[in-house]
Amino acid sequence: MESRPLDALNFARGKKVIVELKNNKQLIGTLRAFDIHINVVIEDVEERVEGEVKRKLGTCFVRGDTIIMISPA
Amino acid sequence: MESRPLDALNFARGKKVIVELKNNKQLIGTLRAFDIHINVVIEDVEERVEGEVKRKLGTCFVRGDTIIMISPA
Amino acid sequence: MESRPLDALNFARGKKVIVELKNNKQLIGTLRAFDIHINVVIEDVEERVEGEVKRKLGTCFVRGDTIIMISPA
Amino acid sequence: MESRPLDALNFARGKKVIVELKNNKQLIGTLRAFDIHINVVIEDVEERVEGEVKRKLGTCFVRGDTIIMISPA
Amino acid sequence: MESRPLDALNFARGKKVIVELKNNKQLIGTLRAFDIHINVVIEDVEERVEGEVKRKLGTCFVRGDTIIMISPA
Amino acid sequence: MESRPLDALNFARGKKVIVELKNNKQLIGTLRAFDIHINVVIEDVEERVEGEVKRKLGTCFVRGDTIIMISPA
Amino acid sequence: MESRPLDALNFARGKKVIVELKNNKQLIGTLRAFDIHINVVIEDVEERVEGEVKRKLGTCFVRGDTIIMISPA
Give the pLDDT of residue C51: 85
Q: What is the mean pLDDT of chain D?
A: 94
- Do G31 and F5 form a contact (C-beta atoms < 8 A)? no
**C-alpha span between C37 and A37 (Å, rounded):** 10
Report the C-alpha gap between D48 and D45 in whole angstroms. Answer: 10
β-pairing verdict for C67-72 and D16-21:
unpaired
- pLDDT tier at D1, thresholds 50, 70, 90: very low
Beta bridge partners of F20: F26, F69
The answer to whether the CB atoms of E71 and C60 lie below 8 A apart is yes
> According to the model, what pLDDT value does residue F3 have?
78
Beta strands in D1-73 (DSSP E): 16-21, 25-34, 40-49, 52-62, 67-72
ipTM score of the complex? Answer: 0.93
Quote the CA–CA distance of A38 and A66 in Å, as a whole number: 9
What is the rounded distance in angstroms from the CA atom of residue A35 to the CA atom of residue A29?
A: 17
Residuewise pLDDT in 10s, chain G (73 residues):
457 999 999 999 999 999 999 999 999 999 999 999 999 999 999 999 988 999 999 999 999 999 999 999 9
Q: Which residues of D touch F41 (CB under 8 A)?
A: 2, 5, 8
* Alpha-carbon gap, residue E5 to D66, rounded angstroms: 33
Residue A71: pLDDT band by 50, 70, 90 thresholds? very high
Identify the pLDDT of residue E1: 46
pLDDT tens digits along A3-61: 799 999 999 999 999 999 999 999 999 999 999 999 999 999 999 998 899 999 999 99
User: B37 and chain D: CB distance < 8 Å anywhere?
Assistant: no
For residue D2, pLDDT beyond 60? no
Query: E1-16 burial, b for 16+ CB within 10 Å, e for fewer?
Result: eeeebbebbeebeeee
Q: What pLDDT is stored for residue E3 in this prediction? A: 78
- Residues on chain C touching A19 (C-beta within 8 angstroms): none
For residue D41, list chain B residues with Cβ-Cβ distance below 8 A. Answer: 2, 5, 8
| Whether C65 contacts A65, CB under 8 Å | yes
Whether A18 contacts A67, CB under 8 Å: no
pLDDT averaged over 10-residue windows placed end to end, chain E, 73 residues: 82 96 96 97 96 92 98 94
Distances (CA, A) of B70 to A6, B26, D45, F41: 19, 10, 12, 26
In the prediction, which pLDDT does D51 show? 85
Q: Which of A8, A22, A65 sits opposite B33 (nearest CB)?
A: A8
- Strand, coil or helix: D73: coil
Task: Report all structural domains of chain A as residue ranges with CATH numbers, in order of start.
Answer: 5-72 (2.30.30.100)
Q: What is the DSSP string of E4-72?
A: SHHHHHHHHTTSEEEEEETTSEEEEEEEEEE-TT--EEEEEEEEEETTEEEEEEEEEEE-GGGEEEEEE
Q: What is the pLDDT of residue G1?
A: 46
Q: Is A32 on the interface with C (CB under 8 A)?
A: yes
Percent with pLDDT over 90 in chain B: 93
Beta strands in F1-73 (DSSP E): 16-21, 25-34, 40-49, 52-62, 67-72
CA distances from A31 to A62, B42, C19, C69, G27 (A): 11, 18, 19, 14, 48
Chains contacting B (3+ CB pairs below 8 angstroms): A, D
Query: What residues contact F50, with CB distance under 8 A and at least 6 apart?
Result: F24
